[in-house]
Amino acid sequence: MMLVLLAAIVRHERRERAGLWQTCLKPEMARIRRLFGLGFPAAMQITMEVGVFAAATTLAGKLTPVALAAHQIAMHVASLTFMVPLGMASAGAVRVGQALGRHDPEAAGRSGWTALVLGAGFMSLAGLGLWLMPRVILRVFTVNASVISLGVPLLLLAAVFQLFDGLQVVATGILRGTGDTRTPMVCNLIGHWVIGLPVGYLLCFFLGWGVFGLWIGLSVGLILAGLVLLWFWSRRVVSLRREWGAVVA
């Protein structure tokens, strides 16, 4: 990956003559601090989101082998569908950032909402597929009847949270495009670690719901994060119009 990116940079520089080789290599601490202030919350958000599912897998490992197998299959399926809105989030972040760079808050809002609609639309279709064909999907991974039987309700739960999973990841991306990396970090911390995982742990081990209870907790965290981040984006669009409108005026 590094070599491909380096080759792309060299090729771009030779074609565009942007002055890359004349750039001063002396560290600019003020810029580094600003980049760290943007990058650290984004890195923590990714760590917390990946970490909560890793923690859920660890907890599922304390259950039966069948429960762990069903959990892993459902997690793989949910991770596969998640890749599309993740790409939408990256594209939305770039488009929103470019629009704000040219002082066009209206275009930034349109780009963000477009990314959200595309991400949510795909995840809605993915959720419909999981809801209608859970056994077909599970048979791609296993022929074990017990794993399939336990995996069906997990995929049905995954179908329910698909839309909200798409909303939360795309909203995270487009908020990053506006320079806001702290809001997604806090929402992930509260949604996944303060609410979702404890609820799942309680349902799984104290109420005896097993891996299904664990997934209910994960679903609650994703749904809350998706709704709250969508609300923050809608408010951010309004504030951007006011801020940039005042700057242009």
3-state secondary structure of 24: coil
pTM above 0.75, yes or no: yes
Check residue 146 and give its pLDDT: 95
Assigned token pair, 211: 């891996």
DSSP-H helix ranges across the chain? 2-16, 29-60, 65-101, 105-132, 134-141, 145-177, 182-188, 197-201, 210-248
Q: Quick check: is 7 in a domain?
A: no
CA distance 166 to 223: 10
pLDDT digits (tens, 9 = 90+) for 165-196: 999 999 999 999 999 999 999 999 999 999 99
pLDDT at 97 over 50: yes
Number of Cβ within a 10 Å radius of residue 135? 11
pLDDT in tens, 54-93: 999 999 999 999 999 999 999 999 999 999 999 999 999 9
Tell me the average pLDDT of the chain.
Answer: 93
Q: How confident is the model at residue 19 (pLDDT cuts 50, 70, 90)?
A: confident
Distance CA(180)–CA(41), nearest Å, equals 9
| CA distance linking residue 41 with residue 183, whole number of Å | 9
Show the domain range for 104. 49-244
Number of domains in the chain: 1
Q: What is the pLDDT of residues 212-222, one digit of tens each?
A: 999 999 999 99
93 falls within a domain: yes
